[in-house]
Structure 1
Amino acid sequence: MNAASSRRRGAGFSDAPIWRRLQPFCAVALVVALIGIPLWMVVATAAKSQGEALTPNLSPPSHWQLFHKRAEVWRQGRIPAAFFGSLLVVVPSVVAVLVLGSMAAWILARRATRLTAMLYALGISGIVLPPAVVTLVLLLRQLGLAGSAVGMIGVYTGIYLSTVIFFVTGFVRTIPPSLEEAAQIDGAGPVRVFVRVVLPLLRPVLATATILICLYVWNDVFYAFFVIGGRIDTLPLNLFQVASAGLYLNNWHLIFAYVILMSLPLIAVFAIAQRKIISGITSGAVK
Structure 2
Amino acid sequence: MTSVLPRRPRVLTRTFQPAAAVLAAVLLLGLPFWLVIVTASKTQEEAFNPTLALPNDWQLFENFATVFNDGKMLPAFLGSILVMVPAVLGVLILGSMAAWILGRRGGRGLAVVYALAISGIILPPAVVTIVLLLRQLGLAGTAVGMIGVYMGMYMSTVIFFVTGFVRTIPRELEEAARVDGASPVRVFMKVILPLLMPVLATATILICLYIWNDVFYALFVVGGRLDTLPLNLFQVASAGLYLQNWHLIFAYIILMSLPLLITFIVAQRKIISGITSGAVK
TM-score with structure 1 length normalisation? Answer: 0.91
* Identical amino acids, percent of aligned pairs: 69
Deviations 1:111-155 (A, max 9, x none): 011111111001001011101000000000010000000000000
**Matches of 1:280 and 1:94 in 2, distance apart?**
17
Alignment pair present for 1:41 and 2:43? no
Match of 2:258 in 1: 264
**Matches of 1:279 and 1:205 in 2, distance apart?**
8
TM-score with structure 2 length normalisation? Answer: 0.93
Partner SS, residue 51 of structure 1: helix
Residues 283 and 124 from structure 1, CA distance in 2 versus in 1: closer, same or farther, beyond 3 angstroms? closer
Alignment pair present for 1:216 and 2:210? yes
Match of 2:196 in 1: 202
Deviations 1:236-278 (A, max 9, x none): 0000001123431110000000000000111122123313335
**Matches of 2:7 and 2:254 in 1, distance apart?**
42
Counting only pairs closer than 5 Å after superposition, residues 87-126 of structure 1 correspond to structure 2 as: 87-126=81-120
Alignment pair present for 1:145 and 2:139? yes
Cα offset for 1:280?
6.8
**Matches of 2:195 and 2:8 in 1, distance apart?**
43
Q: Is the 8 A contact 1:69 1:253 kept in 2?
A: yes
Q: Is the 8 A contact 1:203 1:277 kept in 2?
A: no
Counting only pairs closer than 5 Å after superposition, residues 218-233 of structure 1 correspond to structure 2 as: 218-233=212-227
Q: Is the 8 A contact 2:87 2:150 kept in 1?
A: yes
Which of 21, 36, 46 is matched with 2:15 structurally?
21
**Matches of 1:283 and 1:127 in 2, distance apart?**
21
Residues 283 and 240 from structure 1, CA distance in 2 versus in 1: closer, same or farther, beyond 3 angstroms? closer
Partner SS, residue 16 of structure 1: helix
Deviations 1:77-97 (A, max 9, x none): 101100100000010011011
Q: Is the 8 A contact 2:202 2:275 kept in 1?
A: no
Match of 2:269 in 1: 275
Cα offset for 1:14?
6.4
Cα offset for 1:281?
8.5
**Pairwise CA RMSD:** 2.0
Cα offset for 1:192?
1.1
Deviations 1:159-195 (A, max 9, x none): 0000110011111111121221222222212111111
**Matches of 1:277 and 1:148 in 2, distance apart?**
32
Residues 116 and 283 from structure 1, CA distance in 2 versus in 1: closer, same or farther, beyond 3 angstroms? closer
Aligned residue pairs: how many?
Answer: 274
Structure 1 runs of 4+ off > 2 angstroms?
12-17, 244-247, 275-284
Alignment pair present for 1:64 and 2:58? yes
Q: Is the 8 A contact 2:47 2:247 kept in 1?
A: yes
Partner SS, residue 79 of structure 2: helix
